[in-house]
Amino acid sequence: MALQTVSTRPSITDERARLTEAEFSALLDAAVDGIVIMDADGQIEGFNASAERLFGFSPEEVMGRSVNLLMSDPGPSEDEGSLVSYLRTRQPDLVGNSRELVARRRDGTTFPVELAVGEVRAQVPRFVGIIRDISERKAIERRLTQREEELRLTIENAPIPIATVGLDGVVLSANPSFCKMLGYAQREIGRMSFRDFTYPDDLPLTVTLMEEALRGEGDTYSYQKRYVHKDGRVVHVVLHNGVVRDEQGRPVMIVVQVEDLTERMQAEEEAREHRERLAHVDRLNVMGEMAASIAHEINQPLSAIANYTNAAFRRVSAGRLDGEKLSASLTKIDEQAQRAGEVVRRLRNLVKKRESQRELLDVNDLVRESLRLAEVDARIHDVVVEVSLTESPSCVLADPVQIEQVILNLLRNAIDAMGMVPKEESRLMVRTDASENFVEVSVCDRGTGITKLDEQHLFEPFFTTKVAGMGMGLSISHSIISAHGGRFWFTRNPERGVTFRFSLPKATESLV
Amino acid sequence: MSDASAPTIFVVDDDDAVRDSLRDLIDSVGLDVATYPSAHAFLDVYDNAQRGCLVLDIRMPGMSGLELQERLNERGSSLPIVFITGHGDVPMAVEAMKRGAVDFIQKPFRDQELLDRINLAIEQNRRRREAEETKQDIAERVSSLTRREREVMDMVIQGKANKVIAIDLGLSQRTVEVHRSHVMDKMRARTLAELVRMNTTLEG
């Protein structure tokens, strides 16, 4: 559509310097922005096609009317901020600059616009207003502001410590959780580098991982490390870091999210201590139940020592002890002293109060060691023990004392379960089997079995069917095996009795 | 093992060291000793002619000490048994004593205590064997008597005078005197008192 204008015909001499009206008209109509031409009083003299589209007015409707028609709530013309007053005062800041205003459509709806005004310097001055609809930009800006606010609130109130760190390691921002975790005020931490609160031993790792990430080897990375709290205590954390990059892909900063392990580690520590205390009590309990067997086990070598010694004395008194005979006796005495010492060592290992420790162990060795403690008990109760140990590799990462305790508990239970069984049938079978990923230990008895009713409470603490039992063995065994990442269960044998089993994850070849 | 006059101490214990040390101890006082790791091993070689005593661990896998005692009783063994018991085995030891064990000794024990009990057991075994031999000897003499001599002897022991015996048996007094003289000769009794004592031994 042609620009509707009150034309002032250009003189012929100006022809070359000026645009022809046709050119001018084409230019205006092609303009994407709305263009309104007005006189110094704000009377509209021209209105291009884009302006028509923006405002919903036809040129005929606006020609000769005040430009205020297009403005939202223009108020009195003298009011500052009104377009007309600007035009009147010809404030230089308006001409040649743009400003944001609220415009009004024909239907009364308003929308934000950016207005730039140009002055046509002639005998009768005119102004050209270029109007751009900025609704979309405004909406984007609003959304951005909202998102920013959303993000700010999320980070501020996050229970997770979050911080951003510059490439030089200086903290750019840190949320209250982050500050609280390390005991610093927000303004204090703003002046610090992560080097100031990283546990010194973990600094090389921190720096290496950061350098790798900045080089572009993965934008996000997680690792466990230690911080140092303002009061000096160590804070165990897992960091989840992300590298923020600019359009060129150059790293700008690192966003750090922290998983504070303190509480989890405390809870785990408490659970572990609790389990160890119970396990220790259970071991003492087992020792108590086995007191008679243990006394016997120690008495045997002591009796032998006494006999050898007295025999030697009698030979000396009778003048019938030669050096060879004496030396043979002393060798035997020494062997028996070692044997007694071995029993004591084994017992002390079980009874000693100790921190749990994981070692690389052959399950077969643990079974053999436990059998040595239980075999006297079996002998006294006339139980025959059959043993079948796997020849496949059966190494696990485990606490030897705790696993022996579990095996011992199972052996003792099996022996007890056969208390009423005829002697010829009193046998128990101990097996180890290795599968691809697990090593399994099973203890099979031919005892009285487990009733459906008892089964429900079997692994509960203080549940027992024994007269003198404390009911801790199975419950503790169960928790020990669980803590080792293994499984503990039982099956009923087809003919009689039950088989208790537990499995432990096999230690991988690389560890072996 | 032989039936030589020297007694043998038989030791049955499943613990290698205890067994070996008992052998050493008993050997050190000059007694003959033989050891066995199980009740079965001992029963396999045992016969009633053996003299001495048995030192037995009351608890053993397989056949226990008490069971071995029962088997020996069944076979009519007179071998005295000294049981070695552990702590808390007293009820079993009492049971063993009821079945005829001479003694028991609780671990840990002093060597002299065990050797004393062994010596007592040997002594008891020796006396019992001697008594049995005497008894057997008398029984053999009795069996060498004729029916008539046996009748006369019984009546003499009852304290009957020759005259009374002659009437009871319808014999002359002279004939009774001859029979009586033969009885005293065959029984190798010098006095009537001796003959009475032999009879008592036989009946006891």
In chain A, what residues touch B18 (CB-CB under 8 Å)? Answer: 300, 303-304, 307
Domains of chain A from N-terminus onward: 12-135 (3.30.450.20), 158-260 (3.30.450.20), 270-505 (3.30.565.10)
pLDDT of A85 reads: 61
CATH number of B8-133: 3.40.50.2300
What radius of gyration, in Å, describes the C-alpha atoms of chain A? 46
Q: Does residue A342 surpass a pLDDT of 50? A: yes
A12: confidence class by pLDDT, cuts 50, 70, 90: low
Q: At what angle do helices B16-28 and B111-143 cross, to 10 degrees?
A: 70
Beta carbons of B22 and A296 less than 8 Å apart: no
Q: What strand order describes the sheet that includes A487-492? A: A384-388, A427-434, A438-444, A498-505, A487-492
pLDDT recorded at residue A471? 64
Task: Give the separation between CA B176 and CA B163, rounded to whole angstroms.
Answer: 8
Q: Which of B11, B22, B24 to mutate to test the interface with A (most CBs of A within 10 A)?
A: B24
Domain B144-203 has CATH 3.30.365.10: no
Return the pLDDT at A84: 63
Tell me how far apart the alpha carbons of residues A99 and A91 are, in angstroms, rounded to a whole number: 13
Specify the higher pLDDT residue, B35 or B104: B35
Residues of chain B found within 8 Å of residue A377, distances taken between Cβ atoms:
none
Is the pLDDT score of A76 beyond 60? no
Between A116 and B178, the more confident residue is B178
Query: Stretch B99-120: mean pLDDT, rounded?
Result: 88
Answer whether residue B36 shows pLDDT above 90. yes
At B10, is the pLDDT very low, low, confident or very high (cuts 50, 70, 90)?
Answer: very high
Q: Residue B60: helix, strand or coil by DSSP?
A: coil
* Preceding amide of B108 cis, omega within 30: yes
pLDDT value at A139 more than 80:
yes
* Contact criterion met (CB below 8 Å) for A377 and A415: yes
Instruction: Compute the nearest-CA separation of A232 from chain B (Å).
Output: 59
Q: Of B24, B59, B86, which has the smallest distance from its Cβ to A311's Cβ?
A: B24
What residue in B sits closest to A424 (Cα-Cα)?
B62
Of A19-23, A126-130, B137-141, the range with the lowest mean pLDDT is A19-23
Cβ neighbours of residue B109 under 8 Å, at least 6 residues apart? A303, B84
Contact A432, A444 (CB under 8 A): no
Q: Where are the beta strands (DSSP E) in A137-250?
A: 162-166, 171-174, 220-228, 234-245
Helices (H), A174-259: 176-182, 186-189, 194-197, 203-214
Confidence at A509, pLDDT banded by 50, 70, 90: low
- β-strands A98-104, A110-120 pairing: antiparallel
A308 vs A415: CA distance, rounded Å? 34
Kindly state the average pLDDT of the residues A96-107. 82
Helices (H), A291-362: 291-317, 323-351
Alpha-helical runs (H) found in chain B: 16-28, 39-45, 65-74, 90-98, 111-143, 147-157, 162-169, 173-186, 192-203
Question: Mean pLDDT, to the nearest integer, of B83-97?
Answer: 81
CA distance A453 to A280: 29
Span of A179-193, A256-270, B146-160 with lowest mean pLDDT: A256-270
User: Which residues on chain B are in Cβ contact (under 8 Å) with A301?
Assistant: 17
CB-based contact A335 B17, cutoff 8 Å: yes
Closest residue of chain B to A328, computed from CA coordinates = B24
Q: What is the pLDDT of residue B22?
A: 96
pLDDT above 90 for A27: no
Among B193, A191, A55, which Cα is nearest to A63's? A55
CA B13 to chain centre: 24
Average pLDDT value for residue range A418-447: 89
Q: What is the pLDDT of residues A392-402, one digit of tens each?
A: 888 999 988 88
Give the chain A residue nearest B59 (alpha carbons): A380
Would you state the pLDDT for residue A284? 79
Query: What residues have CB less than 8 Å from A277, skipping those under 6 apart?
Result: none
Percent of chain B with pLDDT over 90: 53
Helical packing angle, A262-289 and A323-351, nearest 10°: 130
Helix or strand (DSSP H, E) at A152? helix A135-157
- Which residues neighbour A323 within 8 Å (Cβ) at sequence distance 6 or greater? none
**Residue A121 pLDDT:** 76
According to the model, what pLDDT value does residue A329 have?
93
pLDDT at A470: 58
- Distance of alpha carbon A112 from alpha carbon A39, whole angstroms: 23
> What is the H or E stretch that residue A29 is in?
helix A21-30
Q: Are A310 and B61 within 8 A, CB to CB?
A: no
Rounded Cα distance between B67 and B39, Å, is 9
The residues of chain B that CATH labels 3.40.50.2300 are 8-133
In B, which residues are within 8 Å of A316 by CB distance? none
CA-nearest residue to B28 within chain A is A311
| A53 vs B90 pLDDT, higher one | A53
Find the closest chain B residue to A291 by CA distance: B87
Q: Among residues A181, A142, A183, A178, which one has the least CA distance to residue A157?
A: A178
Q: A512 pLDDT exceeds 50? A: no
Residue A195: strand, helix, or coil: helix
> Among B27, B87, B108, whose Cβ lies nearest the Cβ of A306?
B108
Maximum distance among all alpha carbons in chain A?
159
Check CB contact under 8 Å for B24 and A329. Answer: yes
Query: A348: pLDDT confidence band, cut at 50, 70 and 90?
Result: confident
Distance CA A438, CA A306 (A): 47
Encoded amino acid at A21, one letter:
E
Q: What pTM, to 2 d.p., does this model score?
A: 0.54
Mean pLDDT value across chain A: 84
Band the pLDDT of A294: cuts 50, 70, 90. confident
Please report the pLDDT score of residue A2 as a whole number.
46
Which residues on chain B are in Cβ contact (under 8 Å) with A317?
Answer: none
Q: Which residues contact residue B143 at a Cβ distance below 8 angstroms, ignoring those fewer than 6 apart?
A: none
pLDDT digits (tens, 9 = 90+) for A164-214: 999 999 999 999 999 999 999 988 998 899 999 999 999 999 999 888 888
Q: How far is CA A315 from CA A308, A321, A324, B6, in A?
A: 11, 5, 13, 20
For the record, the structure tokens of A186 come out as: 């927000």
pLDDT at A11 over 70: no
Count of CB atoms situated within 10 Å of the CB of A141: 12
Q: Per-residue pLDDT for A255 more than 90?
A: yes
Q: Could you please report the per-residue DSSP string of A350-410?
A: HHS------EEEEHHHHHHHHHHHHHHHHHHTT-EEEEE---S--EEEE-HHHHHHHHHHH
User: What six digits make up the tokens of A205?
Assistant: 């790792």
Nearest CA in chain B to A425: B62
Is the pLDDT reported for residue A13 higher than 60? Answer: no
Interface residues of chain A, partner chain B, Cβ below 8 Å: 292, 295-296, 299-308, 310-312, 314-315, 318, 329, 332, 335-336, 339, 379-380, 382, 384
Mean pLDDT for B95-105 is 84
- Check residue A147 and give its pLDDT: 93
Per CB-CB distance under 8 Å, the chain B contacts of A312 are 28
Pairing of strands A498-505, B103-106: unpaired
A216 neighbors A210 (Cβ within 8 angstroms): no
- Token look-up 């003048």 returns A319
User: Dihedral of CA A171/A176/A182/A185: which sign?
Assistant: positive
Residue A411: pLDDT over 70: yes
Query: Is pLDDT at B3 greater than 50 in this prediction?
Result: no
CB contact under 8 A, B108 and A295: no
| Residue pair A219/A213 in contact by the 8 Å Cβ criterion | yes
Residue with tokens 């005892």: A447
Tokens encoding B139: 């029984």
More confident residue, A193 or B97: A193
Residue with tokens 């108020």: A75
pLDDT, position B29:
93
Sheet holding A44-47, edge to edge: A44-47, A34-39, A126-133, A110-120, A98-104
- A304·B20 Cβ contact <8 A: yes
